[in-house]
Structure 1
Amino acid sequence: MKKQKKRQKKIRITGGFLKNRVLHSVNKINVRPTRNRIKQVLFNWLQQYIKNSICLDCFSGSGNLSIESVSRLATSVTALEKKYILVNKLKKTLKIFSITNISVFHTNTLWWLKKNGTPYDIIYLDPPFYNKILLNKSIQYLEQYNWINKDSIIYIEHIDNNIYIPKTWKLIKNKKIGIVSFSLFYIKNYII
């Protein structure tokens, strides 16, 4: 019996000046990039906010959301990733694509967030699905350590709807595709 080849994960940029470019393969790494269909919905939601924004990608993995943001004219992105192999792959991809406005940090996101920060315009929270504690702590630290302000927009991708959402956050949009729920929030005092 012939062995079937494992299907390669292709991560494509879905819009902007890098549309249809393919990111480095992440086949042998335990990573779950945001699916293209979800990404298209997300960036349709963000289309009026993404241009000239300063973004924070808290669990960047392959850099999928970071590169998509820059492709759609975000001014800059700070990408945080714990796995060294993913940091290296992302840096190689940035070099190949000639992207200079994404800063990649090999760090634990919780350690990074647990210090006083400067607010970002758009924050992506897409941690490993089954680690609700990691997601809840990240949300808590964004609030506690000044990473958000009245103009911040926060994106959360999750499978468990029982997550901690601060009272000051207001849900703008949410959707579910398959088992994945994804939500967009802003701070209540800010009217969109």
Structure 2
Amino acid sequence: MNAVRIIGGEWRRRTLRFPDLPGLRPTPDRVRETLFNWLGNDLRGASCLDLFAGSGALGFEAASRGAARAVLVDSSAKVVAALASNARTLDLDRRLEIVCADAVRFATSVGGCFDVLFLDPPFNQGWIDRLAPIVPSLLAEDGIIYVEAERLLEGCGTWRTVRQGKAGQVFYHLMRRGEANGAE
């Protein structure tokens, strides 16, 4: 098993364990710190969807920082088992919903609006383009998208990149509905 630490909030410094699977790459600490600074660190009351949960770092980090609800979705049974084990260890069962499902099938079937959507899909498989038409049904009108990708993105559907950065080979983006206004 691999490990990553939660970097902020109630469960700061707690370790998440996840299986060693091809393509599973947790968001690095520095990038998560930047992301949650962009989001304002305090997610009290927010509803978050981590559509390609993997290690769970983004969803657990959001819950640690006060999100009222975090839904973590992954298609791997091994990953989902590790996420559930981490949730039990941290006693987060009430704030986390862990789902074993295909991202597109889940996204087209889920009801309700999320405040924050985390998208860190496998690279070079066209996931962002496939999900763009579904995003409006997932997010609240003022909802925010965080995306990690193999290239720089202008946006996802009607959401536009308002902040961006690069760490190693990963480009990361914060998107809001409307016009782009800069880079980080």
TM-score, normalized by length of structure 2?
0.88
Counterpart of 1:159 in structure 2 is 150
> Deviations along 1:55-101, whole A, 9 cap, x unmatched?
01100012111100000001111111100000001101100111121
Q: Distance in 2 between matches of 1:170 and 1:134?
A: 17
Map of 1:107 onto structure 2: 101
Q: How far apart are the structure 2 equivalents of 1:172 and 1:164?
A: 9
SS at match of 2:4: coil
Which of 50, 68, 73 in structure 1 is aligned with 2:43?
50
Unaligned runs of 5+ in 2: 180-184
Runs of 4+ in 1 over 6 A off after TM superposition: none
Find 2:70's aligned residue among 77, 80, 92: 77
Cα distance in structure 1, aligned partners of 2:161 and 2:15: 32
Deviations 1:39-67 (A, max 9, x none): 11111111266221000110001211110
Note if contact 2:43-2:62 (Cα within 8 Å) is conserved in structure 1.
yes
- AA in 2 matched with 1:85: K
> Structure 1 41/77 Cα, relative in aligned 2: closer, same or farther at 3 Å?
same
Count of aligned residue pairs for this structure pair: 177
Residue 29 (structure 1) aligns with: 21
Q: Distance in 2 between matches of 1:68 and 1:89?
A: 16
**Alpha-carbon contact 1:136-1:163 (below 8 Å) kept:** no
Task: Give the alignment's TM-score, normalised by structure 1.
Answer: 0.85
Structure 1, unaligned runs of 5 or more = 1-7
